[in-house]
Structure 1
Amino acid sequence: MARADPGDVDAPEREIRLLKNPDGQWTARDLRLGVTAQGDSRSAALDALDDVVEAVAGDGGHPPTDEEIRDLGVDPETGRTQGDELPDVLQ
């Protein structure tokens, strides 16, 4: 079952489009925020969309811990000293 978003779930400006894709997957899109998620079922797509909405509009994220950074194969100290410059490939 889909969870409530961080805002008022009954707010009239909340509009969700739910589509069944040709491959059997479901796509859910929050039209107000412009975010999309997919799932194997309608409820899975709506649950995934609620997670995305929470991360974008609510308090769904957190700065990565040193352990999470190491799990990505990056030394946390090296990552902190890189500055805010984007790599050439992303500029």
Structure 2
Amino acid sequence: MSALREITLTENPDGWWTATDEATGAVSQGPTRTEALANLDDAIELLVNEEAGRTPTEDELRELGIDPEENESGELPDVLQ
């Protein structure tokens, strides 16, 4: 049995739904309540498994058109922050 979670669902003016897990601060959206909640489950799973926020690989940077050798500052480009 899973633990109870406090979740806030908000219908946005554009008709999309936002789901927020109050304990973790994870937020997700979807065109329906069901999809917003399913997306939130995925986001929480990533947080729990510590897969979120990892440093991109050099191959992933190249796929985005970023040459890792030219990134002298060591900082992530805006698109990855």
TM-score over 0.5 for the alignment? Answer: yes
Q: Which runs of 4+ in 1 moved over 4 A?
A: none
Q: Between Structure 1 and Structure 2, whose CA radius of gyration is higher?
A: 1
2:59 to 58, 67, 73: 67
How big is the shift at 1:40?
Answer: 0.5
CA RMSD of aligned residues (A): 2.6
Structure 2 equivalent of residue 10 of structure 1: 2
Structure 2 CA distance for partners of 1:78 and 1:55, relative to 1, 3 Å: farther
- TM-score, normalising length from structure 2? 0.68
- TM-score, normalising length from structure 1? 0.63
Provide the C-alpha distance between the structure 2 equivalents of 1:48 and 1:60, rounded to a whole number of angstroms.
15
> Unaligned stretches of 5+ in structure 1?
1-8
Q: Which has the higher contact order (CA 8 A, sep 6+)?
A: 1
> How many residue pairs end up in the alignment?
76
Deviation per CA, 1:5-56, whole angstroms, max 9, x where unpaired?
xxxx6213x2111222232111101000112111101121112212221232
> Unaligned stretches of 5+ in structure 2?
none
